Amino acid sequence: MGTQAAENFEPLAKDVRTDEQKKIDDWLPITSSRNAKWWYSAFHNVTAMVGAGVLSLPYAMSELGWGPGIAVLIISWVITLYTLWQMVEMHEMVPGKRFDRYHELGQHAFGDKLGLWIVVPQQLIVEVGVNIVYMVTGGRSLKKFHDVICDGKCKDIKLTFFIMIFASVHFVLSQLPNFNSISGVSLAAAVMSLSYSTIAWGASVDKGKMVNVDYNLRATTTPGKVFGFFGALGEVAFAYAGHNVVLEIQATIPSTPEKPSKKPMWKGVVVAYIVVALCYFPVALIGYWAFGNSVDDNILITLNKPTWLIAMANMMVVIHVIGSYQIYAMPVFDMIETVLVKKLKFPPGLTLRLIARSLYVAFTMFVAITFPFFGGLLGFFGGFAFAPTTYFLPCVMWLAIYKPKRFSLSWFTNWAKTTAHRGLLEEQFREKIRKHRLDVQNQPASRELSPT
């Protein structure tokens, strides 16, 4: 991958911020600490990307089939690695300035107002959506651990209470000030993600191929197959959603003209993507090989034995989504605190942080309890928010900023990806509308109320 970014840094521009602005920037979570090492980038990116979505990849394979499934996994890995490289390069494309947040890069590419409207809504959908999904996932994994250990001998406890238990951890962890302060949590989460992924495919190998395993597509009708195909694309897009926090992660790495942050950041990204491959491909391929189209949307549910191993894997999922929640919540905390301090003129401090972050955790907990099926919407959100910010928005920014020569390799590559993905989004949206209309048409007519 060659680079068209400026390699020679000019002297850093004079800092024109006031003392009050510097104080605020030193307090905000994204810009308060810049002493991270390259390996921070590695495990932060692993934690952000290798989420619970990896456990649904065998299910996505059952909706795609062997050929399309393998192709989608490989192409997604290559494309997202390329777009991640683009974002790392664009972090310091302007000498003396760092784009520490995704929306700042969007503003530079599209203008101050348009950049905010393009980036912020999509980024918030991704980050808040992931936090809500992880609230549900953490609660369900805790419940699964409890049920597996008790084996029917304990009193049944509702999912609501397990979500509340999971949320209680975040009321405490959310008070950690910045990315570097959650590095220990993130490292533990990264180790857990590799561990439970290994358990998932290792237990599948041990269980072996099911008798009369069926590799035909899960759906039997043509509309069902098409809808399943685009739903699977959304699930894969969710699995590669780590780009939404990459600039914020890079902001924690120190940078000088002689040693720009993109070098250690890229080193960490390469290591992270090797781990991603070691997690995604074995789980998806071996899980589908073992169970075919009978695999559940969470392969750990399909693997119900040995009991102790499945219980341990579910607890690993809990630990992982604790770290992932914090990784995705930190940019949201930064947005909230920026508005409160810079726009609404609240004084920065512990009280503001305690109230603002606790209210956000309570909000995600409330939505998770109210809509425990929220994860079922991932196919939709994957197509309309996760995929754009990961697959083609970096390409559009690259074209807008660097303006590569028309019909050059860089121009063709970025435009081809943008156009192809836009077509997929449009088709996915049409299939959603068709499916909704069919569901409405097939509903039985409502019965009239009997007179009393």
Using alpha carbons, select from 265, 243, 245, 240 the residue that is nearest to residue 100.
Answer: 245
Output the CA–CA distances (angstroms, integers) from residue 375 to 368, 384, 428, 443, in the order listed: 9, 15, 18, 24
Tell me which of 144 and 332 has the higher pLDDT: 332
CB 380 within 8 A of CB 234: yes
13, pLDDT greater than 70: no
440, pLDDT greater than 80: no
pLDDT-based confidence at residue 447 (cuts at 50, 70, 90): very low
Cα gap 172→120, rounded to integer Å: 27
Q: At how many degrees (to 10) do helices 307-338 and 159-173 cross?
A: 50
Q: Average the pLDDT over each of 31-35, 36-40, 318-322 and give the range with the smallest value.
A: 31-35
Cα gap 449→452, rounded to integer Å: 9
3, pLDDT greater than 60: no
- How confident is the model at residue 450, as a pLDDT? 35
Q: Average the pLDDT over each of 136-140, 196-200, 256-260, 261-265 and give the range with the smallest value.
A: 256-260
**What is the dihedral angle through the alpha carbons of 407, 413, 417, 419, rounded to the nearest 10 degrees?**
0
pLDDT-based confidence at residue 325 (cuts at 50, 70, 90): very high
What residues contact residue 72 under an 8 Å CB cut-off, 6+ apart? 60, 64, 232, 233, 236
What residues contact residue 262 under an 8 Å CB cut-off, 6+ apart? 5, 88, 89, 91, 92, 250
Q: Average the pLDDT over each of 304-318, 407-421, 426-440 and give the range with the smallest value.
A: 426-440
Burial of 314 (0-12, 13-18, 19+ CB in 10 A): buried
37-51 burial, b if ≥16 CB within 10 A, otherwise e?
ebebbbbbbbbbbbb
What are the φ and ψ backbone dihedral angles of 248, each rounded to 5 degrees?
Answer: -65, -35
Report helix, strand or coil for 18.
coil
- How confident is the model at residue 267, as a pLDDT? 93
- How confident is the model at residue 418, as a pLDDT? 54
What tens digit of pLDDT does each residue of 256-297 get?
Answer: 888 889 999 999 999 999 999 999 999 999 999 988 888 887
- How confident is the model at residue 50, as a pLDDT? 82
- How confident is the model at residue 417, as a pLDDT? 52
Q: What is the mean pLDDT of residues 385-390?
A: 74
What are the φ and ψ backbone dihedral angles of 252, each rounded to 5 degrees?
Answer: -85, -10
Report helix, strand or coil for 11.
coil
pLDDT, the chain, mean: 81
What residues contact residue 324 under an 8 Å CB cut-off, 6+ apart? 47, 48, 51, 52, 130, 134, 189
Output the CA–CA distances (angstroms, integers) from residue 367 to 70, 96, 135, 361, 375, in the order listed: 35, 42, 9, 10, 12
Q: Average the pLDDT over each of 23-32, 37-46, 273-282, 417-426 and give the range with the smallest value.
A: 417-426
425, pLDDT greater than 50: no
Which one-letter amino acid corresponds to residue 41?
A: S
Q: Which range is most confident: 256-260, 352-356, 412-416?
A: 352-356
2, pLDDT greater than 70: no
- How confident is the model at residue 18, as a pLDDT? 66
pLDDT-based confidence at residue 10 (cuts at 50, 70, 90): very low
379, pLDDT greater than 80: no
CB 246 within 8 A of CB 390: no
Which structural domains are found in the chain, ordered by start?
A: 37-436 (1.10.4160.10)
pLDDT-based confidence at residue 353 (cuts at 50, 70, 90): very high
Cα gap 437→433, rounded to integer Å: 6
What tens digit of pLDDT does each residue of 91-113 get?
Answer: 988 887 889 888 899 898 888 88
Locus of tokens 């606790």: 358
